Amino acid sequence: MYPFEFSRASSERAALAAGADGGRYIAGGTTLVDLMRETVERPTSVVDINALPYRDLEVGPAGLRVGALVRMTDLAAHPAVREQFPVISQALELSASAQLRNMASIGGNLMQRPRCLYFRDVTIGCNRRQPGSGCPAIGGENRGHAVLGTSDQCVATHPSDLSVALVALDAVVQLRSTAGDRRLPIAAFFRQPGATPNVEHDLRPGELIVAVEVPAGPHTRRSGYLKVRDRQSYEFALASAAVALDIRDGVIASARVAAGGVATVPWRLPGVEDALRGRTPSPGLWTDAVAHAADGARPLAGNGFKVELLRRTLARQLATVAAGTV
């Protein structure tokens, strides 16, 4: 680990000023400390923001508001979240061990770095760490890597389960800097690698995540998250599905579907949603709707199986969420 200066921000103003000067924010530290230990991250200044007033957790008729410093465990266990936004609770509980969930913050979860083994090996090049140094995963070990949203510069899979659920539910991220506040749809918050894989978020220097807001609706109650992985204990997704359905009088009035484990960002599937809307739930519908879920995929030598796995994962979760209506 390289030397760095550590400080605790006693106020929001102090935190924003420190961030504007290049300081890196830390809350739970479950990602940043790990990467600093491996010398992947080498910040010269680290600012503890745990004293900031970002721990609100409110559920009302309009929706859910979660402060950036709320811990994953607390959000997942909240009775109203379990009842009204089950996909969020399930995504959180499937995302990490209990110990990590107790420490990790919601804002930090959104800011996770890729889990690519080449990204974490500082002895070799990686475009995420050093732009222009190449992407060894493309021709190397890539079983767990992305097949959607990739580029010739990077094929790393986005690691956050929670983000998949939030993208499916049209969540909004509230951001704050010394210049003021802005609100951003979470789908626009994440950046596909393109030619600049080192730019992972639409987060400006010195900007803080303040909160995440999720609008409520009939679909949020009938929702769920499925994660397919190599082992049931703490492991990243090979494919995952966040599904939310509004079913009225036996017909799907609206559908929200997103996938994880297969793309460089949480991957919304509007084509699947369109195929579901206005239709009667049935096993045949699930098969038809997911048929084109992987259109545009660019499989690598080791991860071609993800194309069919994605379709099957989606079909299974659609059937689970719609159970009792078929």
* 272 lies in some domain: yes
**Residue 12: pLDDT above 90?**
yes
When divided into structural domains, the chain yields a total of: 2
- If we measure between CA atoms, which residue out of 163, 138, 137 comes closest to residue 259? 163
**Residue 79: pLDDT above 80?**
yes
* 121 lies in some domain: no
* 250 lies in some domain: yes
Position 326 scores a pLDDT of 60
- If we measure between CA atoms, which residue out of 115, 126, 263 comes closest to residue 198? 126
CATH code for the domain of 5: 3.30.43.10
* 271 lies in some domain: yes
* 155 lies in some domain: no
* 58 lies in some domain: no
Position 231 scores a pLDDT of 86
Q: Distance of CA 106 to CAs 67, 74, 122, 175, 201, Å?
A: 8, 10, 28, 13, 15
* 91 lies in some domain: no
* 241 lies in some domain: yes
CATH code for the domain of 297: 3.30.390.50
Q: Distance of CA 117 to CAs 177, 192, 233, 275, Å?
A: 33, 19, 20, 37
Render pLDDT for 124-134 as a digit per residue (tens, 0 to 9).
999 999 999 99
Spatial separation of the C-alpha atoms in residues 146 and 174, rounded to whole Å: 28
| Mean model confidence pLDDT for the chain | 96
Instruction: Report residue 308 CA to chain centroid gap.
Output: 22
Q: What is the pTM for the complete model shown? A: 0.96
Give the range of the structural domain holding residue 23, as residue numbers without chain letter: 1-50
**Residue 325: pLDDT above 90?**
no
